[in-house]
Amino acid sequence: MSEQTKTISLVMRIPAGRISLDVMKEACQIAEEYNLEIYLTTQQNLRLNNVPEHAVESIKAKIIPYGITFKAKGLFPLPRVCVGAPHCKMAKIDTARLSEKIMRHFADRSGIKEKLKIAIGACTLGCSGSRSTDIAIEATGTGLNVYAGGKDGVAPRAGIRIKKDITETEAIQVIETLFDFHQKKTSTRQRLYKLLNDPEFPYKKV
């Protein structure tokens, strides 16, 4: 296979799974121009498959002006969210707004190790896979619960609840503490559940 025909995938990070019409139009035009496949990922991102290597920078240059970033090592993870209020009658919170608040808080964080994920649930039903995610926020009628150490895959496990009925500000502080702990304790990518029994783990099950 020649250098010109080698292909890769580009993953566009889509905050809270919401993609603007302008970005959708641009992505469709790019897909038509380069004969690409568009795949919606389980992390609520948009993946362009079969991208010719020689076209990568050109494609990025067309998307970045819309405020979209591309998946890369070291970036703080976008939370996976359920649809939230006002679109679901069970929802206690606007998950898109909380996701944006979290991303603003951690906007300057870099060097994040892979495998650490965040999920937000507008209630306790877990539509965003919250209990099977490394760090999860679930809304109740009296505040936010935070879970740690969940994982999916071939050996799924539910996270443990480490905070109950706290505020958004407090939940963000918990996320920061967990990320700092993960960064301190790991030299490579690692799921949070492997650190739950560490003597220095900052929280207890509640």
pLDDT tens digits, 15-26: 999 999 999 999
- Model confidence at 50, pLDDT cuts 50, 70, 90, reads very high
**Whether residue 183 sits in one domain with residue 108:** yes
Residue 2 has pLDDT above 80, yes or no: no
**Measured in whole angstroms, how far is the alpha carbon of residue 179 from the centre of its chain?**
14
pLDDT at 3: 54
pLDDT at 188: 80
- Model confidence at 31, pLDDT cuts 50, 70, 90, reads very high
Q: For 144-168, what is the mean pLDDT?
A: 96
pLDDT at 105: 98
pLDDT at 115: 84
Q: Residue 110 maps to which CATH number?
A: 3.30.413.10
pLDDT at 1: 42
User: Rounded to whole angstroms, how far apart are CA atoms 132 and 134?
Assistant: 7
Q: Which tens digit of pLDDT belongs to each residue from 111-122?
A: 998 889 999 999
Q: For 54-77, what is the mean pLDDT?
A: 96
Q: Residue 38 maps to which CATH number?
A: 3.90.480.10
**Whether residue 121 sits in one domain with residue 62:** no
Q: For 74-99, what is the mean pLDDT?
A: 97
Residue 158 has pLDDT above 60, yes or no: yes
**Whether residue 99 sits in one domain with residue 66:** no
Q: Please state, for a pLDDT cut of 90, what percent of the chain lies above it.
A: 93
- Domain end, chosen from 29, 47, 70, is at 70
Task: Give the domain extent around 158.
Answer: 80-195
pLDDT at 4: 58
Domain total of the chain? 2
pTM, to two decimals: 0.92
Q: For 42-48, what is the mean pLDDT?
A: 97
